[in-house]
A and B are shown apart, each in its own frame.
Chain A
Amino acid sequence: MNLLTQVKVLLHKEIVLEWRSKYALNGILLYVVSTIFVCYLSFKQTSGVIWNALFWIILLFAAINAISKSFVQESKGRQLYYYTIASPQAVIISKIIYNILLMLVLGSLALLVYGIVFRNPLGDPLYYFLAVVLGSISFSTVFTMVSAIASKAGNNGTLMAILSFPVIIPLLILLIKLSKNAMDGLDRSVSLDEIGVLAAINIIVITVSLLLFPFLWRE
């Protein structure tokens, strides 16, 4: 099997596994919605800057919770089985793609519920949605690799948080700036710098993950 078919098969397996139990998906969706309600009930109304920052913080914690599971769910024996039939690159690529899909669902739903509960005028809704899409992709690429590292190191929640927060902060700064520009309805060309740097960081992270993961799974 070549890499592409391997990725396809593994991705299909991930989605089918998720769809059968629906436990993780429903759990994390409920997590996002209830966090939004907790925030709404504590803040009631907010200014634009806080609205934007709060949204990204909610999404950040939802992403950490959703993605930290990606390597723990499966038993050691089953992981060993994947490694004998698939290449390590296929394993990490399929996990990254699956997490991107999951985060896209999560991010869109969060934006929808958040927009309904907390009313805040968006200057450029389409561009804001683009920021959410870019954010979902960035969170997935970084957290997938960090969760792989954390799962090898005993996997506790603290470790996942301290390893991933400093790494995600530069991305978060860019995302908040990008979405703030979209919220204020600034001209789209203003944010091209941020989009460029975000894309560059994502490419670096994916490349480094592909290079490093083969060393990580071998035990």
Chain B
Amino acid sequence: MSFIYKTWWKAVAVLVVIYTIIAGFLFPVPELDIVNETIRNVYFHVPMWMAMLVLFSISVFYSIRYLVTQKEDHDLIAVECVNAGLIFYVLGLVTGMIWANYTWGEPWSNDPKQSSAAIAFLVYCAYLVLRNSIEEEQKRAKISAIYNIFAYPIMIVLIMILPRMTDSLHPGNGGNPAFGKMDMDNTMRTVFYPAMIAWPVIGVWIATLRYRIRKIENKNLDLN
């Protein structure tokens, strides 16, 4: 766990993100009907969801670790990953809605993908409410870890499998091709793939900062 105190990976992630922002707005993109310049949104929208998924997966991993080891630190990591993941959830939703406004004609059209994303948000809000409803710390850690593990596979089915079974406007779902397969040329890939890696790393950094703040708060409580 000592890597969370190192600086180099945070610096690399920040530099790569700055590169993807500059290159994302300046590099040429293929000209497509309807989509036009909005295709640049894949540099920002898709990495947000990637970051969210990575953070929620780390959270589930540490929930499992908590059940095995009963160490309070693991519970703190799990909850802070969910908190940081929710930030990226909101960013992913907002970038998607801005894009949908220009290509689908309205920001929210009750597309299956949008509905699924909204329900996935409810799952994690329920997780946070469940945490608040239990006073005793160890019990809270244990029960919320169990709910986290229980809800995760269903969340995956919800946002990865169900929208693919129904008619959806979203690229990659319901018979629509994803951008990656047909429209993305090699210039786009040089921006897209680094963004897919760098944003999750930024997310992990935010989560580790929140985790360290929590640790300091707990320490102060013990001292008083």
Contact = CB atoms under 8 A, between A and B. Distances in A.
Contact of B154 (A167, A215, A219): A167
Interface string B118-158: 01101101100110011000010011011101110110011
B146 A149 contact: yes
A32 to B, nearest CB: 26
Interface string A194-213: 10010001001100110010
A154 interface: yes
A149 B147 contact: yes
Interface size for chain A: under 10, 10 to 19, 20 to 34, or 35 or more residues? Answer: 20 to 34
Interface string A144-180: 0110010011100001001101110110011001000
A152 B157 contact: no
A154 B133 contact: yes
A193 interface: yes
B94 interface: no
B15 interface: no
Contacts of A216: 142-143, 146
Contacts of A166: 119-120, 122-123, 126, 151
How many chain B residues sit at the interface, stated as a range, is 20 to 34
Contacts of A205: 150, 154
Contacts of A193: 165
Contact of B147 (A163, A169, A194, A219): A163
Nearest to B68: A215
B122 to A, nearest CB: 4
A167 B123 contact: yes
Contacts of A177: 166
A153 B146 contact: no
Nearest to B159: A170
Contacts of B120: 166
Contacts of B125: 162
Contacts of A194: 165
B53 to A, nearest CB: 17
Given A149-B143, A167-B123, A170-B116, 12 more contacts: A159-B130, A162-B122, A166-B119, A166-B151, A169-B158, A170-B119, A201-B157, A204-B154, A204-B157, A208-B149, A212-B149, A216-B142
8 A-B pairs with the lowest CB-CB distances in the bound complex, closest first:
A166-B122, A166-B123, A170-B158, A162-B126, A212-B146, A215-B67, A169-B119, A204-B153
20 contacts: A149-B150, A152-B143, A153-B143, A162-B126, A165-B122, A167-B151, A170-B116, A170-B119, A174-B162, A177-B166, A194-B165, A197-B157, A197-B165, A204-B154, A204-B157, A205-B150, A205-B154, A212-B146, A216-B143, A216-B146
